[in-house]
Amino acid sequence: MELRLDGTTALITGGSRGIGLAIGYRMAEAGANVVLSSRKADGLAEAAATLSGLDGQVATVVAHVGRPDQAVSAVAQTIDHFGACDILVNNAGTNPYFGPMVDISVEAMQKTYEINQASILTFAQAAWHQYMKEHGGSILNIASIGGLGPEPGIGWYNVSKAAVIHTTSQLAYELAPSVRVNAIAPGLVKTDLARALWEGREEAVAKHIPLRRLGEVDDIAAMALFLSSSAASWITGQTIVIDGGTTNQPTGGVS
């Protein structure tokens, strides 16, 4: 089955690299006009160049997802450029702290909240009020399997991702039937954000994953394309786990 997004426009936060860029590639390949957004113009220009020649057109918008006024501006620029904002992918994320949650600084706590949690709602609000309320659409949030339970070192990050999962469910309830809202909860994917968790010991880490490998960004992008397409027209309010089986094994892992 070929999944197509012809005639649609997708805005992707954190779109200059990693999972966001991979989603942009998949969507442009499927015919969507894609707007990549992140904080740095240079990185966006390089990212956009990798999407040239695909079926959809590509544009970029510089925006800091932690600032609500820039969420409004990013959506407005998307609509100005392509006349629509049919798909919103809330992908931007950060993790400025590793260690016990009880020792996190207020500054790191606030930054994590603003980028990982609050931006999901501010961008959804902007997309809803400027376009989707009248025209419908699809919102996709990138969560994490960390949002499903406790884990050493990244507790506050995981709290923010648990909030993403619940925000997805709540928005799906409130915005139906015209807008579908879903989330993807990746396991350990080989990205720069997660580099500290796998670099230099990839083989050892993979032994604890039933499918015996770490995730690749396209594993997530393929599901993002599906959930944003008409093939998923009766799916909303769901968080899809993509983790190579990490969360589907007996306590203590596999041998």
Give every residue of the chain whose pLDDT is below 70, as ranges.
194-200, 252-255
> Where do runs of H (alpha helix) occur along 50-187?
68-82, 106-112, 119-127, 133-135, 155-175
- Superfamily, domain 9-242: NAD(P)-binding Rossmann-like Domain (3.40.50.720)
166 token code pair: 């619940």
Residues in contact with 49: Cβ distance below 8 Å, sequence separation at least 6, in sequence order? none
Q: Provide the 3-class DSSP secondary structure of residue 189.
A: strand
In the chain, domain spans: 9-242
Q: Which of 160, 158, 125, 151 has its CA nearest to residue 139?
A: 125
Asked if the peptide bond before residue 68 counts as cis, ω within 30 degrees of 0, the response is: no
pLDDT digits (tens, 9 = 90+) for 55-107: 999 999 999 999 999 999 999 999 999 999 999 999 999 999 999 999 999 99
DSSP codes joined into one string, 223-235? HHHHHHSGGGTT-
Contact, 50 vs 26, CB < 8 A? no
Residues in contact with 249: Cβ distance below 8 Å, sequence separation at least 6, in sequence order? 210
Give catalytic residues, as residue numbers: 157
The pLDDT of residue 85 is 98
Q: How far apart are the C-alpha atoms of 8 and 30, rounded to whole Å?
A: 10
156 token code pair: 């506050």
Q: How far apart are the C-alpha atoms of 77 and 69, rounded to whole Å?
A: 12
H/E segment holding residue 23:
helix 18-29
86 token code pair: 């049919």
Residue 74 backbone phi and psi in degrees, to 5 = -60, -45
Supply the pTM of this predicted model. 0.95
Instruction: Calculate ∠ Cα 102-196-21, nearest 5°.
Output: 110
The pLDDT of residue 252 is 59
Name the residue with tokens 């350990």.
188
Q: How far apart are the C-alpha atoms of 61 and 52, rounded to whole Å?
A: 16
DSSP state letter for 128: I
Q: Which of 20, 74, 16, 23 has its CA nearest to residue 40?
A: 16
